[in-house]
Amino acid sequence: MTNYAYIDVGSNSVRLLLNGKKYLTNTQLAEKLVPGGNILPEAAARTSEAIKSFRRFALDNGADEVFVFATEAVRSANNGKDFAALLSADGITLDVLSPQTEAKIGFDGAYCGRGVFQAVLDVGGASSELAVGNEKGLVYSHSLPLGAVRIKDYSLDRREAEKLIDARVPEYGEVPPFTEMVTIGGTTSSLVAVRDGIEPYDPSKIHLKKITYAEMEDTVSRILATPVEKRAAIKGMHPQKTLILPAGILLVMGIMRYLSLEEITVSENDNLEGYKRLKENNSASL
């Protein structure tokens, strides 16, 4: 039986799915990247090295083939093709997903609605995909080109960040009714880790936990009230997310306000599982 591994090249991190286990490293590919701008050379270098390292690790640990896909940072960058060529020189093919495909794999990875209509929100570093559907497929999806890294780069001031968020979130338009919102991505999983003081990080203590808007307000206020140089000492805080995490939380809160939500569910199953399903379905249809 062929054993595949999958690498997600996100705007903030690079993640590997191998034999049911996930590995992550933060590279901030989208650092200071605006739509149509250029990926910084240093961001491209550290991200490409992370991809190559994960690929070697996967092949050394039983993977027969490694699939690599990228999302908004590469998709929107003026030099996205140059970044893909950087990997191609090492024999790595980069699958740059469309916004529609990105929303679909996030939904497919996280859907647990058992027949009901469910919303899945994927807050990344450079974009945030919202999809609504059930086991039969999607009835709505939209990719908002705004994520935690872009908000952090725009402003570290809460009021300024919220002005940007409140101005952009209505781009989601009219969202169909759903019974529950499930969120995926590092923002809300890290949020639960900080809320509950989970250290070291344990996915089993995060998966399908619920968190309320009021709890988000308490958590982000606590983070922002802590001097940046002391935030890494907050129990559950990843040391590389001291600036990005509050920006991402504010974005989730803005989306919740727009949709009049008081609570969300956090899933550890995400676009890696969704991309795996996509590739398996494509293979089965050949």
Residue range 152-177, pLDDT digits in tens: 999 999 999 999 999 999 999 999 99
Residue 286 has pLDDT above 60, yes or no: no
Residue 115 has pLDDT above 80, yes or no: no
Nearest to 92 by CA among 120, 61, 129, 59: 59
pLDDT band at 274 (very low <50, low <70, confident <90, very high): very high
What pLDDT shows up at residue 112? 84
What pLDDT shows up at residue 55? 98
The CATH code of domain 109-271 reads 3.30.420.150
Token pair, residue 115, equals 């027949």
Where, residue-wise, is CATH 3.30.420.40 in the chain? 4-96
Percent of the chain's residues with pLDDT above 90: 92
Where, residue-wise, is CATH 3.30.420.150 in the chain? 109-271
Q: What is the mean pLDDT of the chain?
A: 95
Tell me the pTM.
0.92
Residue 32 has pLDDT above 70, yes or no: yes
Fold of 4-96: Nucleotidyltransferase; domain 5 (3.30.420)
What pLDDT shows up at residue 285? 62
Within 13 Å of residue 136, how many CA atoms lie on the same side as its CB?
A: 5
Between CA 172 and CA 71 the distance in angstroms is: 19
Q: How far is CA 102 from CA 42, 127, 217, in A?
A: 25, 10, 29
Between CA 168 and CA 15 the distance in angstroms is: 28
